[in-house]
Amino acid sequence: MRIKKKNVGNFETSNLENIILHIFFFLLSITFLYPVLLVIAVSFTEQSSLLQYGYRLMPKVFTLDAYRIALGTGDILNAYKVTIGSTICGTVLGLFIMLLYAYPLSRKNFKRKSYFTFFAYFTTLFSGGLVPWYILCTQYLHLHNTFAAMFVPSLISVWDIIILRTFISVNIPDALIEAAKIDGCSEFRIFWQIVVPLSKAGIATIALFRVLVFWNDYYLPMMLISDSKLYNLQYYLQVIFLNIQILAQNSSAANSTLMQKVPMETTRFAMCVLTMGPILFIYPFFQKYFIKGMVIGSVKG
């Protein structure tokens, strides 16, 4: 029996090997997908059923009580608006600033390259501390109870600047930049019309990282926001759950039966579904560039 072989890139694989690889990655995908499906299933399970039968992919008793509590307490739509707005503003503005910083560092003829590289790297080793950071944000930048407080303190990441710098230096040759200068292009035109279009994969990769940072952030609103109208989704849901816990711990004996009916455990999972849902829909749009951006530079030819 002769096994047929196929060329996959520069590698030659047989049909049997392809089947084994497909089965392996299918099982690997199931192991990644299973926890997500379990979280969704538990969020639709009745609290008493969960305590009796444990975690199951198919709810024994289906209910929407957890979502009624999570969605019916306060204004969650406003929290979504704040989160989406801060994520978009933070990602776009942060990417623009980091690209402006990374591009000069990627050029070999930039005279102050070592100085600005050290200036950025130094901040990863030492920080001013929490109290000076809070004083700077509240008294000098006046970010207390403002929408800008949701993204301004986290606009720049030194590690993302280093990734962008490396990506640009590896994928955009100096000869292309010199040719553009000979044709009369200014530095800003070179940056906007050559560097940015050729760096889409790296930009998309960093954009996904920044989206996750701003979407999952609860530290900034906890430190700088006291107005409930400016709570983002993560902090808003955390406040709801903490309020439920406080009520459960401080409830009197007369109300103990009522508090037992509050689905605390399933509410926790419902909040996870509400926060991770939009990100699951966003990721496929970044996937094409994200994969390319992660592996670019590993093989150069």
For residues 150 and 222, is the Cβ–Cβ distance under 8 A?
A: no
- Percent with pLDDT over 70 in the chain: 84
- Number of Cα atoms under 13 Å in the Cβ half of residue 263: 26
pTM: 0.78
pLDDT at residue 299, as a whole number: 40
Please give the pLDDT value at position 300. 44
Mean of pLDDT values over 12-37: 84
What average pLDDT does this structure show over 155-180?
88
Helix boundaries (H) for 130-230: 130-135, 158-171, 174-182, 187-190, 196-198, 200-215, 219-224
Kindly indicate the confidence band of residue 46, based on its pLDDT and cuts at 50, 70 and 90: confident
Higher-confidence residue: 57 or 258? 57
pLDDT band for position 73 (cuts 50, 70, 90): low
> Per-residue confidence at 95, pLDDT binned at 50, 70, 90?
very high
Q: Token pair of 19, please?
A: 């089947």
Which position has the token pair 């989406």? 84
> What pLDDT, on the 0 to 100 scale, is given for residue 101?
93
Residue 1's pLDDT is what? 43
Helix or strand or coil: residue 187?
helix
Of residues 146 and 267, more confidently modeled: 146
- pLDDT for the residue 260: 53
Give strand pairing partners of 8: 11
- Which pLDDT does position 80 carry in this prediction? 87
Closest CA to 292 of 199, 161, 215, 184: 199
Is 298 or 15 the better-scoring residue by pLDDT?
15
Handedness of CA 269, 270, 275, 277 (dihedral sign): positive
Residue type at 101 in one-letter notation = Y
What is residue 290's predicted lDDT score, i.e. its pLDDT? 61
Distances (CA, A) of 203 to 165, 167, 190: 11, 9, 16
Query: What domains can be seen in the chain, in order of their start residue?
Result: 72-301 (1.10.3720.10)
Q: How far is CA 280 from CA 36, 90, 277, in A?
A: 10, 19, 5
The b/e string for 155-192 (b: 16+ C-beta within 10 A; e otherwise) is bbbbebbbbbbbbbbebbeeeebeebeeeebeeeebbe
Kindly report the number of other CB atoms within 10 A of residue 2's CB atom: 5
Task: Report the distance separating Cα 27 and Cα 33, nearest Å.
Answer: 10
Q: Report phi then psi at 231, rounded to 5.
A: -65, 135
pLDDT above 60 for 11 = no
